[in-house]
């Protein structure tokens, strides 16, 4: 039967807490590892192999904080040992590597390190880019003020994308390659907006946002077409 032994490290960290170490034994398997779980030495029960949770009669903020810390570390230690035992029970014992215990504990403490990397699909079209541009807009800042973009900024981006998609639908297109963003595209898009009854100022706002999106796509080396530089932005 597998056995887990818990001991304190001989060394203290910078705040005089000691790290708890694990020794795992089962037949010929005998592995040791650090846990990344700490406790002051005076609150460690070597016989019971557990953290002592003090029951202070008088509770000030310092003692309350210490009790919460020790309780959290104790719960984390209990969960870790249960996790190790559960994983071991479900494993093929012949496949256990020499660093199995270290890796198991590392996964428990830093699961994000072992999460599969999500490979984003390559962006090749205008609407693929505008979708990502809008989804990440809240992380960017206004170049003029250095402040995060406002709700109205992002709503303007959404409105421009909506009209671009409606324009595409009006000419039986689902999307545009960046190479198609040229003078013909510009004339058609402006004409479409004007036919909706938009003023020159409103048309100009949508063209300005389109150019902003295309500039960002160029900066990210997604767009290599510079024809949009000549797009005229209407003002009243």
Do 72 and 143 belong to one domain?
no
Query: What stretches in the chain show pLDDT beneath 70?
Result: 12-15, 235-236
Structural domain includes residue 20: yes
Residue 232 has a pLDDT of 85
Q: Which two tokens stand for residue 1?
A: 């039967």
Q: Is residue 120 part of a domain?
A: no
Tell me which of 84, 114, 144 is where a domain ends.
Answer: 114
The residue among 60, 84, 57, 55 whose CA lies nearest residue 71 is 55
Judge if 96 and 186 occupy the same domain: no
Instruction: Beginning with the edge strand found earlier in the chain, give each strand of the sheet holding 17-26 in spatial order.
Output: 3-12, 17-26, 29-40
**Which residue range(s) make up the domain with 66?**
3-114
Q: Give the per-residue pLDDT at 111.
A: 87
Q: Give the separation between CA 142 and CA 212, rounded to whole angstroms.
A: 12
Q: How many residues does the chain have?
A: 236
Q: Which pLDDT score is estimated for 33?
A: 95
Give the pLDDT confidence score for residue 15 in this predicted structure: 63
What's the CA gap between 208 and 200, in Å, rounded? 12
Compute the distance between CA of residue 160 and CA of residue 67 in angstroms, rounded to an integer: 55
d(C-alpha 4, C-alpha 9), whole Å: 16
Strands 3-12 and 17-26: antiparallel
Quote the pLDDT of residue 117: 79
Nearest to residue 225, comparing CAs of 170, 187, 185?
185
Q: Residue 165: its pLDDT value, please?
A: 97
**DSSP calls for 93-122:** GGG--TTHHHHHHHHHH-GGGGSPPP-PPP
Map residue 29 onto helix, strand or coil.
strand
Shared domain for 181 and 225, answered yes or no, is: yes
pLDDT for residue 12: 66
Can you give the pLDDT at residue 14? 56
For residue 162, give the CATH number of its domain: 1.10.150
Domain boundary among the residues 114, 148, 164 is at 114
Q: Of 19, 46, 26, nearest to 87 (Cα)?
A: 26
Tens digits of residue pLDDT in 22-48: 999 998 999 999 999 999 999 999 999
Question: Does residue 119 form part of some domain?
Answer: no
Provide the token pair at 195. 């036919």
- φ, ψ for residue 25 (rounded to 5)? -130, 135
Please tell me whether residues 147 and 191 are part of one structural domain. yes
Query: Distance (Å, rounded) from C-alpha 214 to C-alpha 129?
Result: 9
Output the six-digit token pair for 179.
Answer: 């190479």
Same domain, yes or no: 40 and 63? yes
39 shares its domain with 83: yes
Domain count, the chain: 2
Are 78 and 110 found together in one domain? yes
């Amino acid at each position: 039967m597998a056995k887990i032994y818990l001991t304190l490290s001989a060394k203290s960290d910078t705040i005089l807490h000691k790290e708890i170490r694990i020794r795992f034994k089962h037949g010929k398997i005998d592995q040791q590892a650090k846990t990344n779980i700490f406790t002051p030495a005076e609150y460690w029960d070597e016989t019971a192999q557990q953290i002592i949770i003090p029951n202070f009669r008088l509770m000030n903020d310092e003692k309350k904080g210490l009790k919460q810390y020790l309780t959290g570390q104790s719960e984390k230690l209990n969960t870790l040992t249960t996790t190790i035992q559960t994983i071991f029970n479900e494993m093929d014992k012949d496949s256990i590597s020499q660093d199995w215990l270290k890796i198991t504990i590392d996964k428990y403490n830093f699961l994000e390190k072992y999460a599969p990397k999500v490979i984003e699909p390559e962006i090749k079209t205008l609407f693929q880019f505008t979708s990502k541009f809008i989804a990440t807009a809240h992380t960017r800042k206004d170049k003029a003020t250095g402040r995060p973009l406002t709700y109205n900024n992002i709503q303007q981006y959404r409105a421009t994308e909506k009209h671009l998609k409606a324009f595409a639908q009006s000419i039986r297109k689902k999307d545009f390659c960046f190479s198609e963003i040229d003078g013909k595209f510009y004339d058609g898009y402006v004409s479409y907006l004007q036919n909706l009854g938009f003023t020159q100022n409103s048309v100009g706002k949508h063209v300005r946002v389109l150019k902003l999106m295309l500039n960002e796509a160029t900066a990210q080396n997604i767009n290599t077409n510079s024809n949009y530089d000549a797009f005229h932005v209407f003002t009243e």
